[in-house]
Structure 1
Amino acid sequence: MTKTVPLSRNRNYTILWTSQALAEVGFSATSFAFPLLALVITGSPAVAGAIMAVESLAQVLVGLPAGALVDRWDRRRVMVWCEAAQVLSLGSLVAALVWDAVTVPHMIVVAAVMGVCRALFEPAEDATLPNLVPESQLATAVGLNAARTALGDAGGKAIGGVLYGVSRTLPFLLDMITHLVGFVALLFLRVPRREPVERADPPHLGREIGEGLRWVWQRKEIRVTTLCAAVLNMFFAGFYLVVLVLAEGKGVPAGEMGFMAAMLGVGGVAGSLLAPWLCEKLSPYLSIVGVFWGVSLLTPLTLLFDNGYLIGVLFGLMALLAPTANTTITTHQLLVTPDELRGRLGSVLTLVVGAAFGLGSLLGGQLSSALPPAEAVLACTAGIALVTLLVTLNPTLRHYPR
């Protein structure tokens, strides 16, 4: 009987996890500094916002084709070239900052490169993961990847704020260096060779995208969990914006509002570390439904507090169980999806959930404008409660496979 090697001694997984932990820190530092730089360069909040929207727009537009290409190409090479492209684009921005020659078109190009690279890298990494770790450790690996993202986001933004206060160039220099480290590290990554898929017809991008969409739609449990997650994310994104407006109206200091935002990351990190253990103890149904009930019960409590620290604790509790549901769902999806479709699976899920966040932000803005803050919070809470009821009664989720 072959003894399973712990993930900490899995050479390839360690290379991937460590390199991307650093890259997440750099990316988050840039995410913090880029809007501030855009505002300084343009002097217009509207133009700065448009520049920042380019990255998300590029990721959405390229998402579905990127997933199909990831399934067609060598995934390790996709990740390596994405790191190289980000090093070059960030290096050009660092050079322009040093020479005081930054322009709006240059920033747009850098934002677009970052969006395209994330659209390619994320499904490539997700699709590669089951080939690096055994099935028995996949849930743990998924949970650790989620913790990596949450830690990188919280730490990177904090570091980015400090570095930007010293020099506008430093956050982008840090991002360039971390991606350079990631590029070098991934050169040593060894991924098992994929068996070529025989096709009767020549490659066709549109047909391959359609195959990915049909796979997600035909697998009932994937379709249901994707739609439920999208709706919950939409209402929660709107709720988060409305709570910020409510807190500002109550005179909550900026420092306390920063703590509120940070606690979402803290809850995500703690939940990611607990996720593999909870996935073993809870049924998939309870793992998924528990998130919806937790958020439903906690969201109206934000109306009771004028203290940003207490609201932050609620935010942390709301984020605590989400990684368990994500780990349960993601592990199952990766195991049941054929290797040749995993890139397209990741791109479809990213597109749907990303679009839901965008719609949620628009919803929160509209509710904040049309209703008093307290009523807007209750409207979002009602939406979340309705989704929770539907999820609880859904027969597909009740019989979700372990």
Structure 2
Amino acid sequence: MSAPSVSAWDVPAYRTYLAVRALAMAGGALTLVALPVLVYRLTGSATLTALMAAAETLPYLLLGLPAGALVDRWHRRRVLVGTSLGVALLLAALPVADALGVLTYPQLLATGLLVGALFVFADAASFGVVPQMVGRERVASATSLLVTVGTAISVAGPVVAGVLVATLPASLVIGLDATAHLVAALVLARLRWEGSETRPGAAAGGGERRTRLGADILEGLRFVLGQPVVRALTLLGIGCSLAGGAVAGLVVVIGVERLGLGAEDAAVGWLFAAGALGTFVASLALPRLQQRVGVGLITTCGFAVAAVAVGALSATTSLVLALVLLACFHLASTTLIVNGIVVRQVVTPDALQGRVNTTARMIAWGGSPLGAAAAGVVAGTAGVEWALRLAAGALLVSLAGALVWGVVRYPRLSALEPVPESEVVRGG
């Protein structure tokens, strides 16, 4: 008798969900290039361009805890629909304002903050939707497919965006992203799967466990800090997010000030595409790595490779070498990030998926806006190369922490078991 399939592709609802996410990611790949180009065109400032990247990730630091707890009380599908509509409206306002000649940096900054805030809620809902939709035995497959499809799009997307930005107003390119999110919202509004209309906190008898919001937040925080593997991977992720925020905030600036490109040069899209290519390779390699080696060794090696790549990036003025180094950095950083995500999804009870994952990402991603902001200030005063050297230093600190804590000895993914909900310490 053959073993049951563990491929998420066998789940019809997941295939539709994957297509919807792919559409939204395709739009996001365009904005990834167009938005910093628009900011740099409007301001000509490395600091303000990097601060834009900080604004997009700051909401995770501010809203991660309450968002996760709230989404664990709400219908996850409806959260995804509402957030997609919100993003569509916010992004659609940018080409309109630009066409009227009233677009300003404060509007761009506010849009980044609000879109980032909606992403926090959508992210919390997505973390719970995937295990609910495909079952725990298919979580690794589902996560890998999402990353693989998303990064395949993001390899081509920035190249396409670079061409579009070189021929069309950057704000109009962002308008295409707004359209993609609108279509995604309409499809999600009609999508159904087993449990899609059930709130995560619903009890077996049809009732619902009611607790204070603060208690729910504390419950998620206790789980993250109380599970040794989750705690270590989360805290170490701060170094990765500091470096990732710095690199993300400076890609356009690196192209202009270090590589001699124009802000609207199509080759700027290559820089983003190189990073996406590294992410794509990571998404293909990670499931196989998790089958063969421990999750701790994956994380430790990821920090080592990422640190070397960013350090070397700070010293080069070659476009070709910069492309290779950006690919290597994203390969390493994506590997250790997704490794941590899969570990959390596997060991976390369903009722805690939203708050545990947003709590962990709030802690780990908290460094991203700080890294982007600090990199912008340093780049504007001491130069881009020094900002990148500081980012490499953050990765080396995390690498040292992984070695001191013995993370390299953590087991393979298959050896990890979900924590029974009865054993979870409740907030009070």
| TM-score for both structures, normalised by structure 2 | 0.78
Is 2:284 the partner of 1:277?
A: no
Partner of 1:86: 87
Q: How far did 1:155 drift?
A: 3.8
Partner of 1:140: 141
Paired residue secondary structure (1:72): coil
**Which residue, out of 192, 195, 213, partners 2:221?**
213
Partner of 2:424: none
Q: How far did 1:133 drift?
A: 1.8
Q: Which range moved further: 253-262 or 128-137?
A: 253-262
**Which residue, out of 390, 393, 401, partners 1:390?**
401
Which AA in structure 1 matches 2:190?
F
**Which residue, out of 337, 341, 344, partners 2:348?**
337
Partner of 1:127: 128
Q: Distance in 2 between matches of 1:100 and 1:365?
A: 27
Q: Which range moved further: 175-184 or 34-43?
A: 34-43
Q: How far did 1:89 drift?
A: 3.6
Alpha-carbon displacement from aligned partner over 1:197-225 (angstroms, at most 9, x marks no partner): 45998442222222222221111211111
Q: Which range moved further: 70-79 or 43-52?
A: 43-52
* 1:217-256 superposed matches below 5 A: 217-235=225-243, 237-238=245-246, 252-253=260-261
Which AA in structure 1 matches 2:72?
D
Q: Which range moved further: 370-379 or 331-340?
A: 370-379
Which AA in structure 2 matches 1:87?
A
Q: How far did 1:239 drift?
A: 6.8
8 A Cα contact 1:70 1:343, kept in partner = yes
Q: Distance in 1 between matches of 2:89 and 2:253?
A: 39
* 1:44-123 superposed matches below 5 A: 54-93=55-94, 110-123=111-124
8 A Cα contact 2:271 2:326, kept in partner = yes
Is 2:298 the partner of 1:287?
A: yes
Q: How far did 1:291 drift?
A: 0.7
Which AA in structure 1 matches 2:233?
T
Which AA in structure 2 matches 1:233?
S
Structure 2: which 5+ residue stretches go unaligned? 414-428
Which AA in structure 2 matches 1:186?
L
Q: How far did 1:323 drift?
A: 3.6
Which AA in structure 2 matches 1:15?
T
Q: Which range moved further: 333-342 or 170-179?
A: 170-179
Q: Distance in 1 between matches of 2:49 and 2:314?
A: 33
Q: How far did 1:152 drift?
A: 4.1
Partner of 1:172: 174
Is 2:196 the partner of 1:188?
A: no
Alpha-carbon displacement from aligned partner over 1:6-35 (angstroms, at most 9, x marks no partner): 433421111111111111121332343345
Distance 1:48 1:328, change over 3 A: closer
Q: How far did 1:39 drift?
A: 6.7
8 A Cα contact 1:238 1:361, kept in partner = yes
Is 2:328 the partner of 1:320?
A: no
Partner of 2:212: 204
8 A Cα contact 2:47 2:376, kept in partner = no
8 A Cα contact 2:35 2:171, kept in partner = no
Distance 1:102 1:317, change over 3 A: closer
8 A Cα contact 1:220 1:396, kept in partner = no
Structure 1: which 5+ residue stretches go unaligned? none
Q: Distance in 1 between matches of 2:177 and 2:68?
A: 25
Q: Distance in 2 between matches of 1:326 and 1:115?
A: 19
Q: Which range moved further: 277-286 or 380-389?
A: 380-389
Q: How far did 1:84 drift?
A: 2.4
Which AA in structure 1 matches 2:173?
P
Q: Which range moved further: 171-180 or 33-42?
A: 33-42
Which AA in structure 1 matches 2:277?
V
8 A Cα contact 1:276 1:324, kept in partner = no
Q: Which range moved further: 109-118 or 261-270?
A: 109-118
Q: Distance in 2 between matches of 1:257 and 1:109?
A: 25
Q: Distance in 2 between matches of 1:105 and 1:370?
A: 22
8 A Cα contact 1:139 1:328, kept in partner = no
Alpha-carbon displacement from aligned partner over 1:21-77 (angstroms, at most 9, x marks no partner): 111121332343345556777899988877776544445433322111110001011
Alpha-carbon displacement from aligned partner over 1:306-334 (angstroms, at most 9, x marks no partner): 42212321332233244443343222211
Distance 1:22 1:369, change over 3 A: closer
Distance 1:29 1:235, change over 3 A: closer
| TM-score for both structures, normalised by structure 1 | 0.82
Partner of 2:416: none
CA RMSD, Structure 1 to Structure 2 (Å): 3.8
Percent of aligned positions that are identical: 25
Aligned residues: 402
Partner of 1:28: 29
Q: Distance in 2 between matches of 1:135 and 1:37?
A: 42
Q: Distance in 1 between matches of 2:375 and 2:52?
A: 21
Q: Distance in 1 between matches of 2:290 and 2:307?
A: 21
8 A Cα contact 1:259 1:309, kept in partner = no
8 A Cα contact 1:163 1:170, kept in partner = no
* 1:7-22 superposed matches below 5 A: 7-22=8-23
Q: Distance in 2 between matches of 1:357 and 1:329?
A: 16
Q: How far did 1:259 drift?
A: 3.9
Paired residue secondary structure (1:187): helix
Q: Which range moved further: 358-367 or 239-248?
A: 239-248
Q: Distance in 2 between matches of 1:377 and 1:49?
A: 13
